[in-house]
Structure 1
Amino acid sequence: MNLTISGHHLEVTPAIRDYVQSKLERVMRHFEHVIDIAVILTVDNLPEKEKRQKAEINLRLSGKALHVESLAHDLYAAIDSLIDKLDRQVIKYKDRLQQHQHEAIKHMPEAPAPEVVAT
């Protein structure tokens, strides 16, 4: 698994990097087949004297790519809500994979063949 953490208008400190990695462990315990993860942390300076913190993640799984983004006034809050959203999406994807395997035609019970009446 490749993990890339980058910042736009923001320096990614070791504390932020460790925080993101510790939060991603929660996702990794649900689904281990992750190819790579790209996290982008952004600070937007708005003219209304408030800053908007944005966190995005692109998660490539085997057969699927997930994209999640979150906005908040605090970067840590944005990361927390991002991980919550990503966790829900990974669980939903994992459930779809498991249900798809159980609904295969070869596992369906066979219907009895209709009897042919000769006249």
Structure 2
Amino acid sequence: MRTIVKGKNIDITPALRNYATKKTSKLEKFFEDGPEVSCEVMMRVERELDIVEITLQVNGVLMRGEEQTEDMYASIDGAVEKVERQVRKFKTKYLNRVQGPKISELLPVQEEKNDDVPRIVRTKRFALKPMSTDEAVMQMELLGHSFFVFRNATTQEVNVVYRRKDGNYGLIEPE
């Protein structure tokens, strides 16, 4: 596994780099004799929080974990745990159901008991009214949702506006 450790607003000490590399290397056990895996660890400091983002790329599939605490080492631990849960879930749920045993040989499955697996409990259907992105943001705010699906009046494509963690908005457009 190739691991890259980067920092923003922080000097990454050798001890911090070694700790991050050691912690992320425990994810290698899930990919023995398997695909090329790349791991990027981004550490940053904002206000008084130490934030760690870990992005794992396996055969084009991205898995990401983020943790923010007041201690960089605790943030690393939390982010690694989140990515590890995603890897386990990906292997046990998705690969065995969708791809079959051929792919599960590539990523050997480890047993995990998880009775709290989220599932779809409600489906909604509605007409997509053509509107501008500003109208869609206003509609999203009026409904109190964190995202809103709409037909863009300019492009006639289905778009999604969403509220970002930083308080701004994002727009998802199809290619």
Q: Same fold (TM over 0.5)?
A: yes
Moved over 6 A (4+): none
Letter in 1 for 2:6: S
Aligned residue-pair number: 97
> Could you list the per-position Cα deviations for residues 52-73 of structure 1 after superposition, in whole angstroms to 9, with x for gaps in the alignment?
0100011111131112211101
- Higher normalized contact order (CA 8 Å, seq sep 6+, divided by chain length): 1
Decide whether the 8 Å contact of 1:37 with 1:60 is kept in 2: yes
CA RMSD of aligned residues (A): 1.5
Q: Establish whether residue 80 from structure 1 lines up as the match of residue 77 from structure 2.
A: yes
Q: Which residue of 2 aligns with 1:91?
A: 88
Secondary structure at 1:29 match in 2? helix
Decide whether the 8 Å contact of 1:31 with 1:94 is kept in 2: no
**Cα gap change, 1:93 to 1:34, in 2 (>3 Å):** farther
**Cα gap change, 1:34 to 1:92, in 2 (>3 Å):** farther
Secondary structure at 2:62 match in 1? strand
Structure 1 CA distance for aligned equivalents of residues 22 and 54 of structure 2: 15
The Cα shift of 1:23 comes to 0.7
Q: Which residue of 1 aligns with 2:27?
A: 27
Q: Which residue of 1 aligns with 2:55?
A: 58
Structure 2 CA distance for aligned equivalents of residues 79 and 34 of structure 1: 22
Larger gyration radius, structure 1 or structure 2? 1
Q: Which residue of 1 aligns with 2:66?
A: 69
The Cα shift of 1:34 comes to 4.1
Structure 1 CA distance for aligned equivalents of residues 2 and 30 of structure 2: 17
Structure 1 CA distance for aligned equivalents of residues 87 and 64 of structure 2: 11
Percent sequence identity over matched residues?
A: 30
Letter in 2 for 1:67: R
Letter in 2 for 1:6: K
Q: Which residue of 2 aligns with 1:41?
A: 43
Structure 1 residue ranges without an equivalent (≥5): 46-50, 103-119
> Could you list the per-position Cα deviations for residues 65-109 of structure 1 after superposition, in whole angstroms to 9, with x for gaps in the alignment?
11221110100010011011010001111112134315xxxxxxx
